[in-house]
Structure 1
Amino acid sequence: MVFLKRYELVANQTGIDCAVIRYSLNLDGSVHVINSGYDAQGQFVEFIGRADLTFPDSDPLLGKLDVQFVVGQQSGIYWTLATNYADYAVVWSCRGLPGGRSTESAWVLSRTLQTSEAVRLRYEEVLRANDIVLEEMRETNQDLEFCRIPRP
């Protein structure tokens, strides 16, 4: 399964363009996550992680994953706020920082480079309903010509 990161709001991988996120199932039932793309300096970057269901016995099963990108680093809870299972997913995360502070991240993931107007209106509605400010989000560059350019 391949998702393209379409929008991002303050994330560990902030500033990544030509972003691709791949998910696959591990033998133990966890999810193998690979986020990749090009950073602001044009360098290819890749973040490899593992995701486990946060509440695997909940009924109904909730779209919350405990995701860890660096072994030993504090994991983050990633909540799927909305998805239509075909075109998009809206994901949100909040991670604690020292001193009682926290950082929030949000993403709109799409299986295609472009979404319909109806899909865009739906995920923007979900973002607003969850107090995520659209103007603070950055649309990642997924332009095929830009992403095909060989990087140094």
Structure 2
Amino acid sequence: MGEVRFNSSYLTSDRGIAKLVQIILGLVVCAIMCANWYGGSSCFGEGRLGYASGLNFVIVVINIILFLLNLFNIRLYRIEQFYNVVSSILFLIAIILLVWYMIASSAWGAWMIVAAICILIIFALFQYDFKANRTFADDHIPI
């Protein structure tokens, strides 16, 4: 794990930038999905919207915690790899449910499309972070 110190190079690394983008896009999705009331219900009311917005909210909080841990040089490689795999699967389900809601409700507003694209980008960033974390965590000598 190493010593606990401020790791400013994490802010400019690929993984740090990817985590920042995930946090920013997650906050955008929270703002979009919870600012509007879809069909008279809140962002957690309708099942498909509730899953996507609830998952996004929880993931934003976890991403902020992981960002701070990595920023202070506390690295949990295996846990982050597992987290990236699980989050990728959950976000894939979220994007499918969100598109299903958009088709079933004919909710093709610009903000809903932006939210779907943001969730898709977050999904792709989880896959990227998994690959980057996997190569970064290889601490053995390849023979």
What TM-score comes out, normalization by structure 1 length?
0.26
Question: Of the two structures, which has the highest relative contact order with CA contacts closer than 8 Å and spacing of 6 or more?
Answer: 2
**TM score, norm. by length of structure 2:** 0.27
- Bigger proportion of residues as strand: 1
Structure with the bigger percentage of helix: 2
